[in-house]
């Protein structure tokens, strides 16, 4: 007898997701698996708006970024991100958004927020690169990160983008 739950059963689970808490006394270098002094240079104090529809990924990413010194505002959808940005957009230095989400895509969200805040830096993330339109991502070549990624790679990419000039957003066709 097979005791593995079916997908339908898993989707009906109401039990909250258990994510281990990260000890705030542990350095980001320890968490991401390296003691390289280079990692310290990736710390920051900027504000990041993170949009990720998967709770576990969102929570783990928030914790890694906060341990590196960043202030993180997290949203589970583009709709919530738009609400947050109405009052806080000028205080946000970097938008990190999943590309494939229900409703508005990360690309559409990036276009809308960048039109309102030309200095906003953008990092799009996705685990479904085969579903992405290469023209749609052409403006984000440098600002794209494929999932899964390590926190080491994430922190390096975040620092690289924050230290660079904002990229002009190309309008969608």
Tens place of pLDDT per residue across the chain (173 aa): 444 333 333 333 333 333 344 444 545 455 555 555 555 567 889 999 999 999 999 999 999 999 899 999 999 999 999 999 998 899 999 999 998 888 998 989 998 998 899 889 999 998 876 555 555 555 554 588 888 888 888 999 999 999 987 766 555 54
Measured distance between the N- and C-terminal CA atoms of the chain, rounded to whole angstroms: 53
Tell me, yes or no, whether 44 lies in a domain.
Answer: yes
Q: What is the pLDDT of residues 110-131, one digit of tens each?
A: 989 988 998 899 999 988 765 5
Range of 135's domain? 26-162
How many domains does one find in the chain? 1
Give residue 161's pLDDT: 92
Q: Is 126 exposed, middle or buried (0-12, 13-18, 19+ CB in 10 A)?
A: buried
Give residue 12's pLDDT: 37
Tell me, yes or no, whether 33 lies in a domain.
Answer: yes
Tell me, yes or no, whether 7 lies in a domain.
Answer: no
Cα separation values, 7 from 10, 11, 18, 172, Å:
5, 6, 19, 36
CA distance 89 to 149: 27
What CATH number has the domain bearing residue 72? 3.40.50.2300
Give residue 17's pLDDT: 35
Listed in order, strand segments (DSSP E) in the chain are: 47-51, 71-75, 94-98, 121-126, 144-146
Whether 70 and 159 have beta carbons less than 8 Å apart is answered as no
Tell me, yes or no, whether 4 lies in a domain.
Answer: no
Tell me, yes or no, whether 158 lies in a domain.
Answer: yes
Give residue 24's pLDDT: 47
Whether 156 and 34 have beta carbons less than 8 Å apart is answered as no
Element spanning 65, H or E: helix 55-67
Tell me, yes or no, whether 9 lies in a domain.
Answer: no
Q: Is 54 exposed, middle or buried (0-12, 13-18, 19+ CB in 10 A)?
A: middle
Give residue 118's pLDDT: 84
Question: pTM of the prediction?
Answer: 0.73
CA distance 149 to 157: 11
Helix (H, G, I), strand (E, B) or coil at 47: strand
Give residue 109's pLDDT: 93
């Amino acid at each position: 007898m097979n005791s593995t739950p079916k997908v339908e059963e898993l989707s009906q689970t109401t039990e909250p997701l258990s994510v281990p808490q990260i000890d705030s006394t542990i350095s980001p270098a320890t968490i991401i698996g390296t003691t390289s002094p280079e990692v310290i240079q990736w710390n920051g104090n900027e504000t990041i708006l993170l949009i990720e529809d998967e709770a576990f990924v969102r929570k783990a990413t928030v914790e890694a970024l906060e341990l590196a010194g960043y202030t993180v505002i997290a949203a589970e959808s583009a709709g919530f991100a738009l609400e947050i940005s109405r009052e806080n957009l000028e205080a946000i230095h970097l938008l990190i958004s999943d590309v494939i989400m229900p409703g508005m895509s990360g690309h559409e969200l990036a276009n809308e927020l960048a039109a309102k805040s030309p200095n906003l830096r953008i990092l799009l993330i996705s685990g479904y690169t085969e579903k992405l339109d290469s023209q749609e991502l052409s403006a984000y070549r440098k600002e794209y990160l494929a999932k899964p990624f390590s926190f080491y790679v994430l922190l390096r990419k975040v620092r690289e983008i924050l230290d660079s000039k904002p990229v002009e957003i190309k309008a969608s066709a």
